[in-house]
Structure 1
Amino acid sequence: MLIPAIDAAPGDAVMVSVRAGDIILSLEAPQKISARNIVKAVVREIHDLGSQVLVFADVGERITVEITPGALADLSLRVGSDVYLVIKTNSITVMS
């Protein structure tokens, strides 16, 4: 994953944070886009909260993605769906 520049050696472990609403879901691997981080994931849980939907995706770690009910319907997401998470490098905050 590409993260903002930090004072760490390549391969060092760092903790990062991304707001759930800053992650884009795609059913296909996006091409020719400016976002540098595209990660394949599997949908593990979907929680429809009315005005927002929380999607829990597995990339080896659990990632929470916030989408709209309209996006949920358009993507026809189901538990077990393969998706791609798209994350702009500038949306990543390095915690340590």
Structure 2
Amino acid sequence: MLLIAIILFGTIIGAAAQLLLGKSKKGVDWSAAFAAGIIGSFVGGLLVSLLSGDGLAFRPSGIIGSVVGAIIVTAGWHWWKGKNAARV
């Protein structure tokens, strides 16, 4: 049950990151939202939670770190896609 909640939370965070950046004109790319949400939530949420001294508990610092991490991953993905599209 916890794994399903983590996957859903990560996907929602990834979709929110795409909407905050506003780079997708077709709506939310759910596969990219899933990847960015899971990677960003894991790295950003874990890093911010540990740096703030909250440990591995579910705290607001971890949620904020998850959003920031997903935004960074999404922005990096858009940059990489644009760089590769310019080459072709």
TM-score, normalising length: structure 2 = 0.31
- By relative contact order (CA 8 Å, sep 6+), the higher-ranking structure is 1
Determine which structure has the larger helix proportion and give its number. 2
